[in-house]
């Protein structure tokens, strides 16, 4: 789905038939449509459990899910295209105000994640241990977004280290935002 072409393909009737909210992502599989990033990630994890994106114990899985949801629920919704368009369109905030909005919410969220990652012995090369998890799948696009909008990443060395490690993996390279249909 091209988010920018013709006002955003997610707003067209064909896409809204799949996802009435007009939001991305939406995954079609076996005639069913699944929406929401976390639901899709968990669905794919259950369909293809190897390599595992969730650790073996319930407590470890809860930690990974909490980190993933910190991005998906606390940072991303405040800085997605729909919110930013509302700020500049309906509320007519300036570009500087919009940038200040994004920097504020990204900094708050990234600081919380940095503290959790930096102070946990469970953090390894990735958010949890030494293999990618659901948390890494959520963190990397948000780090890209922060860098795109020139958020100072210096206060988040653990976040930066993990994102850089992920960026070196073929699976993360293939999913990079610059490789998506609406990349400019």
- β-pair partners for 16: none
Partnered with residue 38 across adjacent β-strands are none
Q: pLDDT band at residue 19, thresholds of 50, 70 and 90?
A: confident
Q: Can you tell me the distance from the alpha carbon of 35 to that of 9, in angstroms, rounded to the nearest whole number?
A: 16
pLDDT at 183 over 70: no
Residue pair 55/93 in contact by the 8 Å Cβ criterion: no
Say what the pLDDT of residue 14 is: 85
- pTM greater than 0.75 (yes/no): yes
Per-residue pLDDT band for 131 (boundaries 50, 70, 90) equals very high
- Rounded CA separation 85/2 (Å): 16
Residues of the chain with CATH 1.20.1050.10: 58-179
DSSP 36: S
Peptide bond into 168 cis (omega under 30): no
Phi and psi at residue 53, to the nearest 5°: -100, -5
pLDDT of the residue at 143: 97
Average pLDDT, the chain: 93
Residues 94-129: tens digit of each pLDDT:
999 999 999 999 999 999 999 999 999 999 999 999
- Contact between 34 and 40 under an 8 Å Cβ cutoff? The reply is yes
Residue range 5-47, CATH number: 3.40.30.10
Q: Which SS3 state, helix, strand or coil, does residue 26 take?
A: strand
The vertex-150 CA angle with 79 and 11, nearest 5°, equals 30
Q: Is the pLDDT of residue 184 over 60?
A: no
Residue 121, helix vs strand vs coil: coil
Q: Is the pLDDT of residue 17 over 70?
A: yes
Q: Which residues make up the CATH 3.40.30.10 domain(s) of the chain? A: 5-47
Supply the pLDDT for residue 34. Answer: 95
Considering only residues 72 and 23, tell me which one the structure prediction assigns the higher pLDDT: 72
Architecture of domain 58-179: Up-down Bundle (1.20)
Q: Cβ–Cβ contacts within 10 Å for residue 166, how many?
A: 21
> Which tens digits make up the pLDDT trace of 41-66?
999 999 999 999 999 999 999 999 99
**Cis? peptide before 25, omega within 30° of 0:** yes
């Amino acid at each position: 789905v091209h988010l920018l072409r013709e006002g955003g393909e997610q707003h067209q009737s064909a896409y809204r038939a799949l996802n009435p909210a007009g939001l991305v992502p939406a995954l079609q599989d076996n005639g069913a449509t699944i929406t929401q990033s976390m639901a899709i990630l968990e669905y794919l994890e259950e369909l293809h459990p190897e390599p595992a994106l969730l650790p073996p114990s319930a407590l470890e899985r809860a930690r990974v899910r909490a980190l993933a949801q910190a991005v998906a629920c606390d940072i991303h919704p405040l800085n997605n295209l729909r919110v930013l368009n509302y700020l500049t369109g309906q509320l007519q905030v300036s570009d500087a105000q919009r940038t200040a909005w994004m920097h504020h919410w990204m900094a708050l969220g990234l600081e919380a994640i940095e503290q959790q990652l930096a102070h946990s012995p469970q953090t390894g090369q990735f958010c949890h241990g030494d293999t990618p998890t659901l948390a890494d799948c959520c963190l990397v696009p948000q780090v890209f977004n922060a860098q795109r909008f020139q958020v100072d990443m210096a206060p988040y060395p653990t976040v930066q280290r993990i994102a850089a490690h992920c960026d070196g993996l073929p699976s993360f390279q293939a999913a990079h935002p610059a490789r998506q249909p609406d990349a400019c």
